Chains A and B, each alone.
Chain A
Amino acid sequence: MAQLISRLRVWRGAVLLLAGLYFLIPMAASVWFSIDDANGISFDAYTGLLSAPGFTDSLVLTLELAAVTVVVLLLLLVPAMIAVRLGAPKLRPVLEVVCTLPLVVPPVALTAGLIGVLRWGPDYLMDTPFFQTFVFIQQPEFPLVLVIAYVLMALPLAYRALDSGLRAVDVRTLVEAARNCGASWPRAVVSVILPNLRGALLNASFLTLALVLGEFTTASILGFQPFAVWIYSVGNSQGQMSVAVSVLSLLITWVLLLLLAAAGRERRHKTTTAS
């Protein structure tokens, strides 16, 4: 038995070591690449970041897109998922299909379809009010069409995160208890269900944020310039800076998720002592 356990430990250690090497070496090498200079070490790629043309614009655009995407996604998904659990169980398969279908349509294909739809604007709808809508969702300052694409891409991801959150909560009992205490429907959902879903909501939001921050396909083909497209265009002239930004954005998102996990754990500890 003791032999078995020690063999298991060796095996586990080897797996972790190899995996660690594979995942840490590219990161370390990238950091080294971004500071490696002909004359030694230089942090120009990091210090020059803020003054680099287009950096702040693209970052702000991406953060705005991410914020709007998260809000729209949650506003659409959360009521639907709660309703399906409370009173419309027959719609549950429909919701599952809706939230799985985007997985079979790769972003490139979705973009091709979106372009196909956007072409209808000038082709058929020139004289109708719809044409203005088409122009409006494509304005470069805030391309709403990207929000539509991102919400669709994030649907499966957010659905799974929220579903696992909802599994852990007895929505029906909680709402019935709140209703029996005289709470209105909106109040029962907002002040009883949502606080219980805090972890799942944050998780879904952060994964969506990561998706939007890194999204390149749709934005680049449609010709907008959020963060990832900016990294790409900078990569052609300033390789070090693009690598520096890539590593930084990955690390920052990771630290944010880690903090989130830590916060979620503390809350769980407090709440599980009661049950």
Chain B
Amino acid sequence: MTTAPTPVPAPAAADLSGGPRAAGTATTSPTPPPAGRRLLRGKAWLATLPLLLFFLVGFGLPAVAIVTGAFTVSGDAETGAGSFTTANVTDSVQGAYWTALVSSVKLSALTALIGTAVGVPIAQAVLTSRFRMLREAVLTASGVLANFGGLPLAFAFVATLGNAGELTKMFHLTDHGWSLYSFTGLTVAYLYFLVPLMVLTITPALEGLRVQWREAAQNNRATSLQYWRHVALPILFPSLLGGFVLLFGSAFAAYATAAAMVGATVPLISRQIADALSGNVLVGQGNLALALSLDMIIVAVLVMAVYLPLQRRSARWLS
């Protein structure tokens, strides 16, 4: 990771070395040396074929099903089954469904914001800690919490802060107006897997901050605060935003946490879809679930679109 960002090999040197360059630069070089092309030209793409085919079928077909289903009359409707309609999509952004979509976006944005703000100091504290065991324990635990999905975590929270939870009983929290099944309660529970996700996401970026930058700032008499404000945060900004987007997506997609907290009063779009799919909607509205899914994907794509161009910028500094 200490190689210069843009190596400029002299033509003569390249001829002598016969192609392969120093480790670390070859993998990132935009133009591969001729030797590699000779080795595999024409055949290498074959190895990507299984993945692309799988993706086309496994991901493409459901995507097609969502888009076509969202715009056609449901199969169980009495009249006009299979014909084009925008009714599903208009229904999906009205009334209770719109409320659910808005509250999902609100919950996700809030939890992602808190998760980002809380995750970064934790990651920094863990990274700079002298105990390597602590570091590994935290990073692996983050991996588990972030990827395990919300269900076990939801049960842990029900046992801790639910109506019969240990802490609730111990401190009589319900008397103080606490409820795990409210917006605040869900926020606390969501952060339990979002903060670890942020720690995981931001750690490589924090590791990429070079000591030299900090030393240079200190030599120019910058205070710690100034260093963070004018050097570290601008460099980290794309990574932070990327982390925020990832957290938003994760919170937005979460279903198990809310589902396991039976009786939660917060309407969420993911629960509405699951209810619609389980047949808890009116006859003739089967395709409503697909329209709702389309709404969800559109929101996720819009949020993601902010992030992808910025990721490139961050890669330039933190490689």
Which of A's residues lie within 8 Å of B, judged by CB?
4, 8, 11-12, 15-16, 19, 22-23, 25-27, 29-30, 32-34, 36, 75-77, 79-80, 82-89, 91, 94-95, 98, 100-117, 119-120, 123, 148-149, 151-152, 157, 164, 166-167, 169-173, 175-176, 179, 206-207, 210-211, 213-217, 220-221, 228, 231-232, 235, 239, 242-243, 245-247, 249-250, 253-254, 257-258, 260-262, 265
User: Does any Cβ of A come within 8 Å of B147's Cβ?
Assistant: yes
**Contact, CB under 8 Å: A34 / B129:** no
User: Does any Cβ of A come within 8 Å of B263's Cβ?
Assistant: no
**Contact, CB under 8 Å: B26 / A172:** yes
With beta carbons under 8 angstroms apart, the residue of B62, B155, B246 that contacts A113 is B62
**Contact, CB under 8 Å: A26 / B192:** yes
Q: In the assembled complex, which residues on chain B have CB atoms less than 8 Å from the CB atom of A149? A: 58
**Contact, CB under 8 Å: B51 / A106:** no
**Contact, CB under 8 Å: B61 / A106:** no
Distance A152 CA – B136 CA, assembled complex (angstroms):
28
Residue of A19, A176, A235, A261 most packed against chain B (CB within 10 A): A19
User: Does any Cβ of A come within 8 Å of B87's Cβ?
Assistant: no
Distance A248 CA – B82 CA, assembled complex (angstroms):
48
User: Does any Cβ of A come within 8 Å of B112's Cβ?
Assistant: no
> Shortest CB–CB separation between residue B270 and chain A, in angstroms?
5
Residue of B28, B65, B192, B259 most packed against chain A (CB within 10 A): B65
Given contacts A112-B62, A112-B289, 6 further A-B contacts (CB under 8 A): A15-B125, A91-B45, A105-B300, A106-B296, A172-B33, A250-B153
**Contact, CB under 8 Å: B37 / A16:** no
**Contact, CB under 8 Å: A25 / B167:** yes
**Contact, CB under 8 Å: A172 / B143:** no
**Contact, CB under 8 Å: A232 / B260:** yes
Among B7-15, B17-25, B228-236, the stretch in contact with A: B17-25
> Shortest CB–CB separation between residue A174 and chain B, in angstroms?
9
**Contact, CB under 8 Å: B148 / A214:** yes
**Contact, CB under 8 Å: B274 / A108:** yes
Q: In the assembled complex, which residues on chain B have CB atoms less than 8 Å from the CB atom of A79? A: 47-48, 50-51
Q: Is the interface of B mostly helix, strand, loop or mixed?
A: helix
Which of B's residues lie within 8 Å of A, judged by CB?
19-20, 23-24, 26-28, 30, 32-33, 35-37, 39-41, 43-48, 50-52, 54-55, 58-59, 61-63, 65-66, 68-69, 75, 118, 121-122, 124-126, 128-129, 134, 136-137, 139-141, 143-145, 147-153, 155-161, 164-167, 191-192, 195, 204, 224, 246, 249, 252-253, 255-256, 259-260, 270, 273-274, 277-278, 289-290, 292-294, 296-297, 300-301, 304, 308
Distance A85 CA – B44 CA, assembled complex (angstroms):
9
Q: In the assembled complex, which residues on chain B have CB atoms less than 8 Å from the CB atom of A25? A: 160, 167
**Contact, CB under 8 Å: A89 / B32:** yes
Distance A123 CA – B165 CA, assembled complex (angstroms):
48
> Shortest CB–CB separation between residue A258 and chain B, in angstroms?
5
Q: What 7 pairs across the A-B complex have the smallest Cβ distances?
A: A113-B62, A87-B40, A87-B44, A116-B65, A106-B253, A214-B149, A246-B152
